[in-house]
């Protein structure tokens, strides 16, 4: 799973009160601002749990997370661009391709992705490898060969929507529900289609790309950026509850990360570009039955986003070198 453009600050330390101050109306007191009253606590660990209580409870009981810069833990993108297509491409292909992948345009991935490799290696039908995302461009990033996998990103018809009345309604409604920009779909639709697909087709590998954390940040709506994280926490709880109820999935591996960070300062937190300091910093959460580490984790050397695809291969028992010898090595978990 990815949460688009979530900074390490909000992930590990909760709300950034300096940013909240910049959003105050004239005469409005910080102590009365709803973001402050709902999410402030002087302790950063309590603060972050006010936003994502379920996520942090799972990190304590079943998972681990790297990237807390204030603890000297480092996870970064390898690509120099620090925006979405290069970030997702690095995650999906295991390599940063700075020259070939240098825009957010709707162009097909020039490189094979981990989704296509897994499908081929395990000789799976397309329902068994699925990518759902709120950002439409993700459908181009997820495949080199269009139609290789179940690919449902942005406002796109979910092809199995006729199997369930509720999903059929959501499928119709997504096209009548306007978002900030053309190529977006609300995360609630993405999540529900993904959940239905998971329960109905039991994929071996599934990706869910949530996007609203980034959209609201670009709009300068810090309150809704935080709300989008709260909504993700509910989605994660729903997903986790299903996985734990399933014999097939209760020991599955879950990776959660982001495609880029954002600016560190109150003046550039909305942005993420090659020249924005802070936007190179990301984070990585891992839940795996093979990993005993719990809570926060400080790797010996920085982890890069280009190590995620080989980690996925390894978790599925596949030889990542057969995919691409040049990709980042699996994360030492």
Query: In the set 13, 49, 233, 259, which binds Zn ion (CB under 5 A)?
Result: 259
Distances (CA, A) of 113 to 109, 267, 293, 310: 8, 36, 28, 11
Residues near 319 by beta carbon (within 8 Å), at least 6 away in sequence? 313
Tell me how crowded residue 283 is: count the other CB atoms within 10 A of its CB.
24
Q: Which C-beta is closer to Zn ion: that of 276 or that of 313?
A: 276
84 binds Zn ion (CB under 5 A): yes
Query: C-beta of 21: minimal distance to Zn ion in Å?
Result: 25
CA angle 170, 175, 178 (to 5 degrees): 110
Task: Kindly report the length of the chain.
Answer: 333
Query: In the set 3, 4, 149, 194, which binds Zn ion (CB under 5 A)?
Result: 4
Rg of the chain on CA atoms, in Å: 19
Name the closest residue to Zn ion (Cβ): 84
Residues of span 126-165 touching Zn ion by CB under 5 A? none
* Residue 254: strand pairing partners: 287
Span from 3-11, 114-122, 178-186, 236-244 in contact with Zn ion (CB under 5 A): 3-11
Per-residue interface string for the shown chain with Zn ion, residues 88-127, x marking contact by CB under 5 A: ----------------------------------------
Query: C-beta of 104: minimal distance to Zn ion in Å?
Result: 8
d(CA 311, CA 329): 7
Query: C-beta of 218: minimal distance to Zn ion in Å?
Result: 9
Per-residue interface string for the shown chain with Zn ion, residues 199-228, x marking contact by CB under 5 A: ---------------x--------------
Query: C-beta of 271: minimal distance to Zn ion in Å?
Result: 11
174 binds Zn ion (CB under 5 A): no
Q: Is 187 exposed, middle or buried (0-12, 13-18, 19+ CB in 10 A)?
A: buried
For strand 254-257 and strand 284-287, is the pairing parallel, antiparallel, or unpaired? antiparallel
Q: Which C-beta is closer to Zn ion: that of 5 or that of 63?
A: 5
Q: Which C-beta is closer to Zn ion: that of 8 or that of 84?
A: 84
Are 134 and 212 spatial neighbours (Cβ–Cβ below 8 Å)?
yes
Q: Which C-beta is closer to Zn ion: that of 212 or that of 214?
A: 214
Q: Which C-beta is closer to Zn ion: that of 105 or that of 176?
A: 105
Total of residues contacting Zn ion (CB under 5 A): 5
Q: Identify the H or E element spanning 254.
A: strand 254-257
Query: In the set 2, 5, 7, 192, which binds Zn ion (CB under 5 A)?
Result: 5
Query: C-beta of 41: minimal distance to Zn ion in Å?
Result: 28
Is residue 108 helix, strand or coil?
A: coil
d(CA 190, CA 133): 6
- Tokens at residue 155, please? 């406002």
257 binds Zn ion (CB under 5 A): no
Query: C-beta of 211: minimal distance to Zn ion in Å?
Result: 8
Query: C-beta of 270: minimal distance to Zn ion in Å?
Result: 12
Which is nearest to 117 in space by CA: 1, 203, 249, 205? 205
Distances (CA, A) of 139 to 109, 113, 278, 294: 9, 12, 27, 33
- Tokens at residue 225, please? 């950026």
Span from 4-12, 13-21, 40-48, 198-206 in contact with Zn ion (CB under 5 A): 4-12
Q: Which C-beta is closer to Zn ion: that of 7 or that of 128?
A: 7
State the first-to-last Cα distance of the chain, in angstroms, to the nearest integer: 18
Residues that bind Zn ion (CB under 5 A): 4-5, 84, 214, 259
């Amino acid at each position: 799973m990815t949460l688009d453009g979530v900074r390490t600050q909000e992930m590990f330390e909760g709300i950034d009160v300096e940013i909240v101050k910049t959003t105050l109306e004239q005469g409005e007191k910080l102590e009365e601002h709803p973001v402050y009253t709902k999410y402030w606590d002087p302790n950063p660990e309590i603060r972050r749990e006010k936003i994502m209580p379920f996520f942090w409870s799972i990190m304590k009981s079943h998972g681990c997370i790297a990237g807390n810069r204030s603890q000297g833990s480092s996870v970064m993108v390898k690509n120099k661009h620090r925006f979405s297509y290069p970030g997702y491409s690095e995650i999906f292909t295991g390599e940063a391709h700075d020259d070939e992948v240098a825009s957010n345009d709707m162009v097909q991935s020039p490189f094979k992705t981990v989704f296509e490799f897994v499908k081929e290696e395990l000789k799976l039908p397309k329902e068994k490898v699925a990518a759902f995302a709120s950002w439409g461009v993700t459908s181009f990033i997820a495949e080199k060969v269009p139609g290789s996998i179940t690919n449902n990103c942005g406002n796109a018809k979910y092809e199995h929507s006729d199997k369930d009345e509720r999903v059929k309604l959501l499928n119709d409604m997504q096209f009548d529900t306007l978002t900030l920009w053309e190529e977006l779909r609300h995360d609630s639709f993405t999540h529900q289609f993904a959940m239905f697909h998971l329960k109905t087709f039991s994929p071996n590998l599934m990706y869910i790309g949530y996007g609203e954390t980034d959209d609201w940040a670009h709009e300068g709506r810090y309150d809704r950026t935080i709300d989008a994280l709260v909504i993700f926490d509910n989605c994660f709880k729903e997903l986790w509850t299903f996985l734990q109820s399933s014999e097939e999935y209760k020991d599955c591996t879950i990776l959660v990360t982001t495609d880029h960070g954002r600016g560190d300062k109150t003046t550039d937190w909305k942005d993420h570009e090659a020249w924005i300091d802070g936007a190179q910093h990301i984070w990585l959460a891992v839940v795996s039955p093979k990993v005993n580490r719990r809570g926060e984790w400080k790797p010996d050397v920085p982890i890069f986003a280009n190590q995620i695809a080989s980690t996925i291969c390894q978790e599925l028992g596949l030889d990542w070198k057969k995919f691409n010898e040049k990709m980042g090595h699996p994360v030492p978990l």
